[in-house]
Structure 1
Amino acid sequence: MTDLAAPVTEGVAAETPRPQALLLTFFGGHVLDQGIHVATASVLDVLDRAGVSEHATRSTLSRMARRGLLRRVRQGRNVYIGLTPHSRAILHDGRRRIWEAGAVNRHWDGTWTLLGFSMPESWQRQRHALRSRLLWAGFGSLQSGLWIAPGTVDAAGLLDGLGTDGHVKVFQARALPPTHVAEVVAEAWDIERLAGHYRAFLSRWRDPEAQAPDSLARDLLLESDWLQTIRQDPRLPREHLPADWPAEPAQELFHNLSAELKPAANAIAAEVLDTITDAEADRLAAR
């Protein structure tokens, strides 16, 4: 068996994080639950430190506002940005995924969520949208039209707005003999590919100082990179994964680096961020 914890020799360099991923990380770390709006100029400064151009940041902020993820108010010549209920829900989910659920599933209770679907051939758009959501939610394809995920999945939320009622069936189940769970895992998921994401993370973050010029930018890049890494992981039961599963050393590295970077990152943020309170933003919006 391939050593899953071995360093990769190619594909180590991270793709430049998408501006929206970095912005969500920034808002999650420095705006969420703080009761503040932050000036656009401050956001541009922070994202520039992380290697994102002003044009890309402005375009992404505008797109996020149109999608109901951000709220903007004006005070004189300055525009201040705050969160909406929608973006708060997304950020709280990301916080839970990073700091509570973690990358290693050691508390699986033996249940699986099974989802089967059969749609008319003409429903290509719905079929593609459903498959995309299933992959994002951690499902693996067990066989044609039958998908499986460990634990309990909120299928109602997963299917919301797809218009697939009557074409999808969802069950909870447990594996019984002669089924071997390790074989199911190997059939439904590309274990080597999942391991590769963690190996690449470990390789990228051996030298944090090479990633960005200061602790604030490094912290944003680190957390954004980690969240994108674990979101590709269905959190398969640890007992059915290889002994050298690299999620564990990767998670340990993330936690250690985060603890090192946070104090300096927060100090820089306190110095450079121009903010107003949510109450002030409400008064400006009411004018």
Structure 2
Amino acid sequence: MSDLAVSEATEGIGAESPRPQALLLAFFGGHVLGRGIHVATASVLDVLDRAGVSEHATRSTLSRMARRGLLHRVRRGRHVYIGLTERSRAILHDGERRIWRDGVVNRQWDGTWTLLGFSMPESWQRQRHALRSRLLWAGFGSLQSGLWIAPGEVDVPPLLDGLDADGHVKVFQGRALPPTEVAAIIQEAWDVDRLAGRYRAFLSRWQDPLAQAPDSLARDLLLESDWLQTIRHDPRLPREHLPAGWPAEPAQELFFGLSAEAKPAARATATEVLDTITDEQADEL
């Protein structure tokens, strides 16, 4: 995804009470992305209702996502169908990569750091807010005022897309040299205890997955949106510099296991309840 908009799309989602947009992203990623379909609004309302979201909240969120260019809407008779846009596909593909392929710890770190400093005018509140969100999603932590750091080599230009901030940002790559200690850098740039607490909370919440939702479809959406929020601010720190008993990998194993159990039934339920048309049919309307 070119602009890492998933960081902004999911910002502020509480893991214990997912916002409608988090669940909608999970729904579109799991049941629309890659299938070449538009799905009826009524079906989306039904699915979100199963996950405990009111019709009003779902409609408001769908309208907001459409205004932001994340959804394409067409009318067919009395029904409105919703499909993905190029931007939302990019967001969902990036979230898919983060959830299923990256892993929660970095086992191949070569000692390289990416350092980024920025200074923007006070009037650029939107740009500063957007850049901070993107930096967090990309694995950066704030080492000191205006200086951010991430393990490994990070492709920074995509983080600046649409911000017109190139002249206000400086980027370097390098290695820590004595007397600098990597452990001290990590403690300064990231709240390691809070990161660990997110994973422990996830483990606690999902020890009894049957208590989370009335059916497999809703459970799967709640599980995936919760996991995305749990990993959202995790920089994937080098494994050798993490504290003993780091809970990220046990939490990931639990997520993968529960997801594998829920997916077949969730997909079967979705096939039964979703009213869909093909993208080609939508283009004709």
Q: Structure 1: which 5+ runs fail to align?
A: 1-12
Contact persistence 2:15–2:230 (CA under 8 A):
no
Q: Deviations over 1:131-189 (max 9, x none)?
A: 34323332112122211011122221212233333322101111222222111111111
Tell me the amino acid that sits aligned with residue 193 of structure 1.
Answer: R
Deviation at residue 130 of structure 1 after TM alignment: 3.4
Of stretches 209-218 and 161-170 in structure 1, the one that deviates more from structure 2 is 161-170
CA offsets 1:182-239 (integer angstroms, 9 cap, x no match) = 1111111110000010000000001111111000000000011001111120111111
When residues 39 and 118 of structure 1 are mapped into structure 2, their CA distance, relative to the original with a 3 A threshold, is closer
TM-score by length of 2: 0.91
What aligned pairs does 1:53-68 form with structure 2 within 5 A after superposition?
A: 53-68=54-69
Question: Aligned pair in 2 of structure 1 residues 19, 143: CA closer, same or farther (>3 Å)?
Answer: same
Deviates more, 1:33-42 or 1:112-121: 112-121
Where does 1:224-239 land on structure 2 (aligned, <5 Å)? Answer: 224-239=225-240
Pairs within 5 Å for 1:28-107: 28-107=29-108
What is the 5 A alignment of 1:191-202?
191-202=192-203
Tell me how far apart the structure 2 counterparts of residues 215 and 130 of structure 1 sit (CA, whole Å): 37
CA distance in 1, matches of 2:122, 2:15: 38
Does residue 131 (structure 1) correspond to residue 135 (structure 2)? The answer is no
TM-score when normalising by structure 1: 0.90
Residue correspondences, number:
272
- Structure 2 match to 1:170: 171
Which stretch shows the higher mean deviation, 61-70 or 156-165?
156-165
Residue of structure 2 in register with 1:283 after alignment = 284
More displaced 10-residue stretch of structure 1: 252-261 or 161-170: 161-170
Contact kept, 8 Å, 2:220 with 2:262, in 1: the verdict is yes
Which residues of 2 match residues 151-166 of structure 1 at below 5 A? Answer: 151-166=152-167
SS of 2:101 mapped into structure 1: helix
Residue 101 of structure 1: SS of its match in structure 2? coil
Task: For residue 129 of structure 1, report the CA deviation from its aligned partner.
Answer: 4.2
Taking the aligned partners of 2:165 and 2:143, their CA distance within structure 1 comes to: 20
C-alpha change, 1:219 and 1:239, in structure 2 (3 Å) is same
C-alpha displacement at 1:14, in angstroms?
4.4
Shift of 1:252: 0.4
Q: Is the 8 A contact 1:39 1:81 kept in 2?
A: yes
**Matches of 1:83 and 1:166, distance apart in 2:** 33
Mapped to 2, the partners of 1:117 and 1:154 lie a distance apart of 16
Point out where structure 2 has 5 or more consecutive residues left out of the alignment: 1-13
1:241 equivalent in structure 2:
242
Structure 2 SS opposite 1:113: strand
CA RMSD of aligned residues (A): 1.6
The residue matched to 1:96 in structure 2 has which SS? helix
Corresponding residue number in structure 2 for 1:5? none
Q: Is the 8 A contact 1:150 1:236 kept in 2?
A: yes
* Paired residues for 1:250-269 under 5 Å: 250-269=251-270
Match of 1:7 in 2: none
Q: Indicate if the aligned counterparts of 1:14 and 1:204 stay in contact, CA closer than 8 A.
A: no
Q: Which amino acid aligns with 2:280?
A: A
Of structures 1 and 2, the larger Rg is shown by 1
- 2:194 and 2:38 map into 1 onto residues whose CA distance is 40
Distance 1:132 1:183 in 2: 24
